[in-house]
Structure 1
Amino acid sequence: MTEERLTRLKSVIAKRQPNLAVVLENVFDPHNISAVMRTCDAVGVQDVFVLNTKIPRHKRWGSKSSSSAAKWLTVHQYTDADECFKELRRRYEKIYTTHLAQDSVNLYDMNLTQSVALVFGNEHSGVSEEILAYADGNFIIPQVGIIKSLNISVACAVSLYEAYRQKKLAGHYEGHENDCEYKLQLQKQWGIEEES
């Protein structure tokens, strides 16, 4: 590995955000999943949870739309919702779903600097009632058009870039001592060996 490549990889790892994750529930189009992964990589989200309770487990992603982002992410696939959300609860303080409801809050009023997992539902029916029960709350992306929904990959991109904005202002991309172990694990995962 060249010194330039090593420096680049370490720079990317330094900006990964261990307290922000994306959860995709029964998203059936692999190209949508790949587009989400590309955005995750772009804003420093390392962990993507793919939950398939109603569709077969994905074997691969749409490589053209992901630009191979999947190989730089940690993708957790689940077929059991309880197991998935037990792990999410262990890792993140809050779980929010994209869902249009009476109690939904505006994306831009949320505190996305906290430890949070954002859940996005499938292309046709959104987040299911079963998954809504696991959440701490719901959020919406404000819209003023006739159609009141966005494509899953677009909704995720808008949400993650708001998280990026908030976390950047809060200094989260400057690196923190308390996530050193997380970043050392990533270095190992990416084949980067620290010199003794």
Structure 2
Amino acid sequence: MTPERNERLTNVLVKRQPGLTVVLENVADPHNISAVMRTCDAVGIQDIYILNSKIENHKKWGAKSSSSAAKWLTVHQFTDAATCFAELRKRFDKIYTTHLSTDAVGLYELDLTQKVALVFGNEHSGCSDEIIGLADGNFIIPQVGIIKSLNISVACAVSVYEAFRQKTIAGHYESARLEPAHMAELRASWGFIEE
């Protein structure tokens, strides 16, 4: 690894945000998952959660969509919602689903500087009732068009870039937020050469 690449990867690690994650519930199209991975990497999300309780686990992601983002992320796969949420509760203070309901709040009303997990559901049926019941609340992305839905990768991008905006204002990208042990583990898995 060249010194320049070492420096670039170090700069990426310093900006990783352990207090923000994305959960994908039964997302069927691996290309959608890969597009989400690329967006997560872009805003500094390290860990993403994939819950496949109604569909088979994916064996690979859409390589063209991810531009190899998967190799830089930590992907947690689950087949049971309760187990997935038990893990999320250990690391995140709030879990919100994207769900159009009477109690849903607008994306811009959420405090995304907290430790937050954002859940995006299946392309056709959205988040399941089980997941909605396990979450702390629902949010919607404000829209003024006729069609009141977005592709999942677009919805995720809009949402995590709002988190990026809030976290930037709050100074979350100014210093390392990963625990030193976690950073060392990622450095090793990314192929860093220690001096």
Q: What are the equivalent positions in structure 2 for 1:136-151 lying under 5 Å apart?
A: 136-151=136-151
> What residue number does 2:81 align with?
81
Deviations 1:61-100 (A, max 9, x none): 0000100000000001111111111000011111000001
Counterpart secondary structure, 2:54: coil
Q: Distance in 1 between matches of 2:153 and 2:36?
A: 5
Q: Which amino acid is 1:42 matched to?
A: A
Listed as ranges, the gaps of 5+ residues in structure 2 are: none
Q: Please, which runs of 5 or more residues in structure 1 have no aligned partner?
A: none
Instruction: Normalising by structure 1, report the TM-score.
Output: 0.96
Q: Using the alignment, how far apart are the partners of 1:42 and 1:27 within structure 2?
A: 20
Q: For 1:32 and 1:128, locate their aligned partners in 2 and report how far apart those are by CA, in whole Å.
A: 18
2:39 counterpart of 1:19: no
1:192 aligns with 2:187: no
Q: Percent identity?
A: 70
Q: State the partner residue of 1:56.
A: 56
Calculate the aligned-residue CA RMSD, in Å.
Answer: 1.2
> How far is 1:176 from its partner?
4.1
C-alpha displacement of 1:186: 1.8
- Please state how far the C-alpha of 1:178 moved relative to its aligned partner: 6.8
**Cα distance in 2, alignment partners of residues 16 and 97 from structure 1:** 22
Matched residue count: 195
Distance in 2 (alpha carbons) for counterparts of 1:46 and 1:177: 11
Structure 2: how far apart are the matches of 1:148 and 1:99?
11
* Partner residue in 2 for 1:41: 41
Matched, 1:121 2:128: no
Q: Write the letter of the residue equivalent to 2:185.
A: Q
